[in-house]
Amino acid sequence: MPAVKDLGDDTVHVYLNGKFVAEENAMISIDDRGFLFADGVYEVVHVYGRTLFEWDLHMARLQRSVAAVELPPVDLVSLRHVAEELVSRLDASESEASLYLEITRGTHRRSHGFPPAGSTEPTVLMWVRPVVPISRPTIEDGVPMISVADDRWAKVWIKTIGLLPNVLAKHKAQQAGMFDAIFIRDGMVTEATSANIFIVESGTLHTAPTTNYILPGITRQVVLELAAARGIAIDLTPFSYESLLDADEAFLTGTLTEVLPISEVDGHRLRHTSGPIARQLLEDLHRRAGWPGSL
Ligand SMILES: Cc1ncc(COP(=O)(O)O)c(C=O)c1O
């Protein structure tokens, strides 16, 4: 199963702790708390052309994550300047890119407690890499999924770099020749390893409510707005694994995933493997991004 939005092979433009650096000079200490404890938060922003899609929404979520893990507040104005500088370094031929931003609690000799006040600065890393757009056949075929138990912690709403359960679930899916895994908690669908999930049942759009048990996706939020603008009925009550299997259509949403139809779950083919509402919303998303897209 090919990865969607493969990162381009080589070009990466990097900023680390106040400097634009060549990739080979971007060094992080063995005592960085992100490395030692996954003590950090991150964001990923989709770059369409030279536009940072929904930058303000991503930064608002970043501030919430930063506050939740008690990092010092970030200076959003300077982050924006850094992001724009990195994006300006992309080649004209590199039409879509991924911007990755990570902030950790900084570098200090290993000890679980926070470093003493004033003893370290947060590590700030940002990079931009071109991505290969999702192919039309992938959208037309939809992607096959497995389900796994959602055994993550109770604060998945914070976008922390501690993603081992997601990594293990994705690996399990890939080993089974599938695209990704859907987390199920108490019989209810929460989300996928790096995307939110929607289903359509008799014309109504369902997605899990924003509780502590999902990451409140920026794309999820945008898609809900786009659906409302089209007059599509929306239901934000939890939905079960059985209703996923019985749905008319189902799709993933995410920054780089965009709106991606699901074809099957645990070997059970969905009624529409690439449904009309998913395609409509993908088109609307591209329009909002000012992007021609792949449909
Ligand atoms: C667990 C999880 N859920 C949902 C999403 C989708 O969020 P967004 O649309 O902001 O990319 C992500 C994105 O990385 C994620 O990691």
The mean pLDDT value for 162-166 works out to 98
Burial of 124 from C-beta contacts in 10 A (0-12 / 13-18 / 19+): buried
pLDDT value, residue 294:
53
Listed by start position, the domains of the chain span: 13-130, 136-288
Q: Ligand 1: distance of its center to the CA of 157 in Å?
A: 10
Whole-angstrom distance, CA of residue 264 vs CA of residue 243: 13
Q: Which two tokens stand for residue 133?
A: 């757009």
136-288 CATH fold: D-amino Acid Aminotransferase; Chain A, domain 2 (3.20.10)
Enclosing H/E stretch for 66 = helix 55-68
pLDDT band with cut points at 50, 70 and 90 for residue 5: low
Q: Ligand 1: distance of its center to the CA of 255 in Å?
A: 7
The mean pLDDT value for 238-266 works out to 98
Q: Ligand 1: distance of its center to the CA of 135 in Å?
A: 20
pTM score: 0.96
Q: Which residue's CA is the closest to the ligand 1 atom numbered 13? A: 194
Going from the C-alpha of 245 to that of each of 31, 213, 264, 265, 268, the distances in angstroms are: 46, 21, 8, 7, 7
Residue with token string 């695209």: 179
State which of 166, 207, 215, 251 you would mutate to test the pocket of ligand 1, scoring each by most atoms of that ligand within 8 A of its C-beta.
215
Q: Is residue 218 in contact with ligand 1, taking CB distance under 6 Å? A: yes
State which of 45, 64, 194 you would mutate to test the pocket of ligand 1, scoring each by most atoms of that ligand within 8 A of its C-beta.
194
Per residue in 59-78, pLDDT (tens digit) is 999 999 999 999 999 999 99
Residue with token string 């108490």: 186
With pLDDT > 90 as the criterion, what percentage of the chain qualifies?
A: 92
CB atoms within 10 A of CB 42: 18
Whole-angstrom distance, CA of residue 272 vs CA of residue 247: 9
The domain defined by 13-130 carries CATH number 3.30.470.10? yes
pLDDT value, residue 94:
78
pLDDT band with cut points at 50, 70 and 90 for residue 92: confident
pLDDT value, residue 93:
81
pLDDT value, residue 11:
83
Catalytic residue among 5, 159, 170, 172: 159
Whole-angstrom distance, CA of residue 215 vs CA of residue 159: 7
Q: Is residue 255 in contact with ligand 1, taking CB distance under 6 Å? A: yes
Look up 19 and say whether it is catalytic. Answer: no
Closest ligand 1 atom to the C-alpha of 218? Answer: 10
Locate all alpha helices (DSSP H) within 158-255, ordered by sequence.
Answer: 164-175, 218-229, 241-245
Whole-angstrom distance, CA of residue 50 vs CA of residue 138: 25
